[in-house]
Amino acid sequence: MTKTRGYAALAARAELAPFEFERRALRDTDIGFRIDFAGICHSDIHQVREEWGSALFPMVPGHEIVGTVTSIGSKVTSFKVGDSIGVGVFIDSCRECTNCLNGLQQYCLEGMTGTYNGYERNSQNVAFGGYSNYFVIEEGYAVKVPSNLDPAGVAPLLCAGITLYSPIKHWKVGPTSKVAVMGLGGLGHMGVKFAAALGAEVTVFSHSAHKEADAKAMGAAHFIVTKGDDWHKPLRKKFDLILNTVSADLDLDPYLSTLATDGTLVIIGLPGKPYAINAGTMLDGRRSIAGSMIGGMPELQEMLNFCGAKSIVSDVEVIKADYINQAYERTVASDVKYRFVIDASSF
Ligand code: NAP
Ligand code: ZN
Ligand code: ZN
């Protein structure tokens, strides 16, 4: 067992505070690593605040984890001490179902084992996440981090990055695509960078007018402020793919009206309440609504390699642990540029 320092919420909606706990002793196929940086995902906030239903406390959130390997189990073959390592939204899965065998561990038929807010697989051990200074991960659920990238900017790739990369790949975004990204936050800004890197014409739908210059610097060609009743009318039937990363409840209908014939709006943001769908808008143009959740282990590594080759990282504001609660407030207020990342040496 290894004594570990982190930050936890002791109860739903409580402020996060310093917290000590033990990580499990290394098994043969485990890797122990010092956490260097941990991103703050809006999903952390949803769970601390029980916006998705009841949660497990004390909770150490954090599923965008980058670190440096400090020890390996006797059967570990793909990592050595000193390597850069990343862990994302899940730490295990059944490894036997068709989805796991196809590298879609996020859709494991038995349910993926989340990095926190639950138990380690087939165990009574609470899974504590990345807002901490040390981690233990089974080798098959860790990825290699390209050495040319700034590790603080890499941390958000482990959730925000893969969550946009996966649908962008699945819906085959390329140079002829017209893509719109809803919400320029942690996830959305990665969607802009990836779609632009693949040659698409990217539009950002934002309710924050002041983000326009940033969006364009990230690769967006157009920036639409979604204020008033008419913003969507000039954009009718324009986009092949809309990536909805908005964390708040929203009327989807104006956005759906901007989908081209056979276009798809992918739901990625996960607010607590169901969406209302206007059947007429869906019928007109054979439009689709789909969903997408993070990505599997092979795609996570593919995304990091793509980022290494293209020098893509997240735009981050690095903070110390004692700023986490303020970072939560600023994230909820859409005041994020464009991901808060905790310097884990401050735990
Ligand atoms: P974030 O950094 O807070 O970004 C969300 C953005 O949504 C904000 O920056 C804002 O962009 C927009 N927004 C917020 N409130 C709004 C409102 N009332 N009306 C219109 N737009 C609003 O959050 P994130 O970390 O990117 O996460 C986004 C969502 O994705 C969360 O719900 C999270 O739980 C979910 N998520 C899903 C997956 C998955 O696998 N599908 C993975 C990770 C996270 P503008 O200021 O530009 O409008
Ligand atoms: Zn996340
Ligand atoms: Zn499985």
Distance (angstroms) between ligand 3 centre and the Cα of 94 equals 4
**pTM to 2 decimal places:** 0.98
Is the CB of 238 inside a 6 Å radius of any atom of ligand 1?
A: no
Atom of ligand 1 nearest to the CA of 249: 18
Question: What's the confidence (pLDDT) of residue 272?
Answer: 82
Q: Say if domain 2-157+315-346 classifies as CATH 3.40.50.2000.
A: no
Residue 265 has pLDDT above 90, yes or no: yes
Is the CB of 331 inside a 6 Å radius of any atom of ligand 1?
A: yes
Note if the bond before 338 is cis, omega within 30 degrees: yes
Q: What fold is seen in the domain 161-291?
A: Rossmann fold (3.40.50)
Task: Kindly identify the ligand whose nearest atom is closest to the C-alpha of 251.
Answer: 1
Is the CB of 290 inside a 6 Å radius of any atom of ligand 1?
A: no
Tokens representing 89 are 């939204």
Tokens representing 131 are 């807002």
Is the CB of 41 inside a 6 Å radius of any atom of ligand 1?
A: yes
Q: How far apart are CA 165 and CA 184, in angstroms?
A: 15
Closest by CA position to 188, among listed 196, 177, 199: 196
Q: For 22-59, what is each residue's pLDDT tens digit? A: 999 999 999 999 999 999 999 999 999 999 999 999 99
One fold for both 2-157+315-346 and 161-291?
no
Distance (angstroms) between ligand 3 centre and the Cα of 105 equals 6
| E-strand stretches of the chain | 2-8, 17-23, 30-39, 65-72, 84-87, 90-92, 113-114, 118-119, 126-127, 134-138, 143-144, 178-182, 201-206, 222-225, 239-244, 259-267, 288-291, 316-319, 339-343
Check residue 341 and give left, alpha or beta (phi > 0: left; psi -120 to 50: alpha).
beta
Model confidence band, residue 247 (pLDDT cutoffs 50, 70, 90): very high
Is the CB of 29 inside a 6 Å radius of any atom of ligand 1?
A: no
Q: For 311-345, what is each residue's pLDDT tens digit? A: 999 999 999 999 999 999 999 999 999 999 999 99
Model confidence band, residue 106 (pLDDT cutoffs 50, 70, 90): very high
Task: Kindly identify the ligand whose nearest atom is closest to the C-alpha of 97.
Answer: 3
Q: For 204-217, what is each residue's pLDDT tens digit? A: 999 999 999 999 99
Pairing of strands 339-343, 316-319: parallel
Distance (angstroms) between ligand 1 centre and the Cα of 205 equals 12
Tokens representing 289 are 């609504």
Over the chain, what is the mean pLDDT? 98
Is the CB of 206 inside a 6 Å radius of any atom of ligand 1?
A: yes
Domain range annotation of the chain: 2-157+315-346, 161-291
Is the Cβ–Cβ distance between 258 and 232 less than 8 Å? yes
Is the CB of 336 inside a 6 Å radius of any atom of ligand 1?
A: yes
Pairing of strands 201-206, 222-225: parallel
Residue 18 has pLDDT above 90, yes or no: yes
- Other Cβ atoms closer than 10 A to 253: 15
Q: For 133-190, what is each residue's pLDDT tens digit? A: 999 999 999 999 999 999 999 999 999 999 999 999 999 999 999 999 999 999 999 9
